[in-house]
Amino acid sequence: MTAGIDAPDRRGRTGLDRQGRDLTGNPRVRVRDVEVLSCDWYVLRRTTFDFQHGDGRWSRQQRETYDRGDGATILLYDPDRRTVLLTRQFRFPAYVNGHRDGMLIETAAGLLDGDSPSEAIRREAAEETGHVIGAVRRVFDVYMSPGSVTERLHFFAAPYSPATSTAAGGGIAAEGEDITVVELPFAEALAMIRSGAIADAKTIMLLQWAALDGPFGPAQAHP
């Protein structure tokens, strides 16, 4: 009996080796085998498939994919005060790969965990920033690291104000979260991209969207 395949893993899952075996959307890809390499919490798979190249020849290839589920992120902005609400937290993968202290400034974000993207991001915004928001605007959906990670990240934006603050935020301590809420003038946040003080991809994408097409873009300044 193997955990995650024919016996439940610690999250109660079985059949994790079936993911991807029935793909039919691309006739140039024929999946041959799926192996589960790890399912301690998220799932690491190795898939063997045949791929037809542009010149017609076929080759057998293998790829490892890391499946942590889909997620959502949101830019909270105050159009009147021209501020944005971000978070700061420790990210070990960034720390071990050269970031000075591993403390990244980010937009609020989290995994869907079975909720719809809009429901999940409202939950995460409340947990991380303490703000309960209403309607959210979908910005775009993006595969953040398509060479190895399956996650699709849903991007949103929504206004906030002092009236939407209901708690201190900071994340869920029982889950090891230790999050600081960071409110910045929008112009300062953009400058922090240029200086490297903001180095998180999703945050950069949402801030630049806000400057080009969003609440702080030219269309808003000159309606």
In the structure, what pLDDT confidence band is assigned to residue 114 with cuts at 50, 70 and 90?
very high
- Residue 56, C-beta contacts closer than 8 angstroms, at least 6 positions apart: none
pLDDT of residue 111: 96
Percent of the chain clearing pLDDT 90 (strictly above): 91
Specify if 8 maps to a domain: no
Give the CATH number of the domain where residue 205 resides. Answer: 3.90.79.10
Domain boundary among 43, 67, 91: 67
Specify if 100 maps to a domain: yes
DSSP state of 149: B
Same-domain pairing of 38 and 79: no
- Distance CA(132)–CA(123), nearest Å, equals 8
Same-domain pairing of 106 and 165: yes
- What does the pLDDT average to over 59-73? 97
Specify if 11 maps to a domain: no
> How does pLDDT run across 180-204, given as a tens digit for each residue?
999 999 999 999 999 999 999 999 9
Helix axes 201-212, 186-195, angle to 10 degrees: 130
Which residue in 42, 87, 48 sits closest to 64, CA to CA? 48
Same-domain pairing of 155 and 79: yes
CB 74 within 8 A of CB 157: yes
Partners of residue 67 on adjacent β-strands: 43
Burial 62-90 (b: 16+ CB within 10 A, else e): eeebebeebbbbbbbbbeeeebbbbbebe
Same-domain pairing of 120 and 34: no
Specify if 190 maps to a domain: yes
Same-domain pairing of 150 and 167: yes
Specify if 192 maps to a domain: yes
Domain boundary among 46, 67, 88: 67
Same-domain pairing of 79 and 175: yes
Percent of the chain clearing pLDDT 70 (strictly above): 99
Same-domain pairing of 39 and 103: no
Q: Residue 221 pLDDT more than 70?
A: no
Same-domain pairing of 21 and 101: no
Domain that residue 134 falls in: 71-221
Return the residue matching tokens 């029982």: 174
pLDDT of residue 222: 52
Number of independent structural domains in the chain: 2
Same-domain pairing of 201 and 127: yes
Same-domain pairing of 186 and 203: yes
Same-domain pairing of 90 and 20: no
Q: Residue 133 pLDDT more than 60?
A: yes
Which residue in 119, 219, 216, 106 sits closest to 171, CA to CA? 106
Same-domain pairing of 132 and 119: yes
- Distance CA(75)–CA(157), nearest Å, equals 5
Specify if 7 maps to a domain: no
